[in-house]
């Protein structure tokens, strides 16, 4: 997010930065010196980072792997990177669409009312590039929210440089966008705060549960575990190298033949009583071997929480292999 913010500030102030060439050369030299230092301290880090960035070593799970596949014409594989099975993907997408619609309406209105000094055209490039995170890293739902924030920040900075009357006109769009997004956020924010409060120190519980089931899920060294992205690092911490459930290869049923267990977390499902299931998950092919004993505190005197904010997982064992 920080990188995109810096880039956006450079784009906005491009004409106002003096000695841009000197600044650019200094930045490049500093960057190269930093890379040399990193490579000296941690040999092989740059090669590993490049593999993650291009997804050449992670089967399209990270970096721009899906976008690279899209450039190669593999649209179906790119499409599999979208978190279409997660409710929060659509909520995040709605938050991005709202300011785009509002500002496009304001820009069109300004064009029809005042064609000579069409200031709104300066906003159009940022509206056009706002969906780039979906195209570049379709599996990162949080990046959609970051794109929404950056869009509003960039539009605000341009609006500040407009004539006062026009600035007031477009400021209404900023206020209206923020208000609508806040109204959408509020019920989820309240729910998440209360649910998170019931979860307690669930990351410790999750780690202990994984340690308990590690022998069963890793007894065959040729088989692997599929994990929700949230708990990927917890598995790594106890010495297991799982694949995430977003791995594009899982859309090929043949790759399930060496799948031993699946651990599914609750965040993302927007259902306090069920984990987030991947779209390729077939219940009749798996046996549920563990469900966490999650808090059951009452919310608002009537709502029982199964806490979607816990780090704990439901764990399934593969019992049937079908292509």
Per-residue confidence (pLDDT) for residue 195, from 0 to 100: 62
Per-residue confidence (pLDDT) for residue 310, from 0 to 100: 73
Query: Residue 282: inside a domain, yes or no?
Result: yes
> Based on the domain organization, do 204 and 306 belong to the same domain?
yes
Counted domains in the chain: 3
> Based on the domain organization, do 36 and 121 belong to the same domain?
no
Query: Residue 17: inside a domain, yes or no?
Result: yes
> Based on the domain organization, do 113 and 160 belong to the same domain?
yes
From 87, 90, 97, 82, select the one nearest 151 (Cα to Cα). 97
DSSP 42: S
Per-residue confidence (pLDDT) for residue 102, from 0 to 100: 94
- Collect the ranges in the chain with pLDDT lower than 50: 1-17, 296-307, 323
Beta bridge partners of 318: 286
Per-residue confidence (pLDDT) for residue 101, from 0 to 100: 95
Query: Residue 57: inside a domain, yes or no?
Result: yes
Per-residue confidence (pLDDT) for residue 281, from 0 to 100: 87
Give the separation between CA 172 and CA 101, rounded to whole angstroms: 13
Per-residue confidence (pLDDT) for residue 253, from 0 to 100: 76
Helix H segments across the chain? 2-12, 20-41, 45-54, 65-71, 75-80, 87-113, 124-129, 132-136, 141-159, 164-199, 202-217, 232-237
> Based on the domain organization, do 135 and 227 belong to the same domain?
no
> Based on the domain organization, do 273 and 184 belong to the same domain?
no
> Based on the domain organization, do 153 and 240 belong to the same domain?
no
Query: Residue 71: inside a domain, yes or no?
Result: yes
Among 50, 80, 110, the domain-final residue is 80
Domain that holds residue 287: 200-318
In sequence order, the 6+-apart residues with CB closer than 8 A to the CB of 167 are: 159, 160
Contact 64, 54 (CB under 8 A): yes
Query: Residue 323: inside a domain, yes or no?
Result: no
From 208, 321, 206, select the one nearest 263 (Cα to Cα). 206
> Based on the domain organization, do 192 and 205 belong to the same domain?
no
Predicted TM-score (pTM) of the model is 0.58
What confidence tens digit (pLDDT) does each residue in 261-274 have? Answer: 999 988 766 666 77
In this structure, are strands 243-244 and 224-227 parallel, antiparallel, or unpaired? parallel
């Amino acid at each position: 997010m920080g990188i995109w913010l810096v880039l956006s500030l450079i784009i906005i102030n491009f004409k106002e930065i003096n000695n841009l060439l000197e600044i650019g050369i200094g930045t490049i030299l500093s960057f190269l010196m930093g890379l040399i230092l990193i490579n000296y301290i941690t040999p092989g880090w740059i090669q590993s980072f490049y593999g993650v960035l291009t997804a050449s070593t992670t089967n399209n799970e990270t970096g721009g792997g899906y976008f690279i596949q899209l450039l190669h014409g593999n649209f179906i594989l790119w499409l599999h990177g979208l978190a279409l099975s997660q409710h929060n993907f659509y909520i995040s997408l709605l938050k991005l669409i709202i300011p785009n619609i509002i500002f496009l309406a304001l820009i069109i209105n300004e064009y029809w009312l005042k064609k000579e000094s069409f200031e709104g055209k300066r906003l159009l490039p940022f509206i056009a590039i706002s969906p780039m995170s979906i195209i570049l890293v379709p599996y990162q739902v949080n990046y959609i929210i970051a794109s929404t924030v950056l869009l509003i920040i960039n539009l605000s900075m341009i609006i500040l440089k407009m004539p006062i009357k026009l600035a007031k006109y477009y400021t209404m769009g900023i206020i209206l966008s923020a208000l609508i997004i806040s109204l959408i956020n509020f019920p989820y924010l309240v729910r998440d705060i209360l649910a998170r409060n019931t979860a307690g120190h669930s990351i410790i519980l999750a780690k202990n549960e994984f340690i308990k089931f590690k022998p069963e899920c890793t007894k065959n060294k040729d088989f692997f575990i599929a994990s929700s992205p949230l708990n990927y690092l917890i598995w790594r911490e106890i010495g297991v190298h799982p694949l995430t459930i977003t791995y594009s290869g899982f859309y090929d049923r043949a790759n399930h033949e060496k799948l031993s267990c699946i651990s599914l977390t609750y965040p993302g499902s927007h259902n306090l009583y069920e984990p987030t299931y991947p779209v390729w998950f077939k219940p009749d092919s798996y046996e549920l071997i563990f469900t966490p004993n999650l808090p059951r505190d009452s919310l608002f005197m009537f709502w029982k929480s199964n806490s979607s904010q816990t780090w704990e997982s439901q764990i399934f064992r593969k019992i049937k292999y079908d292509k």
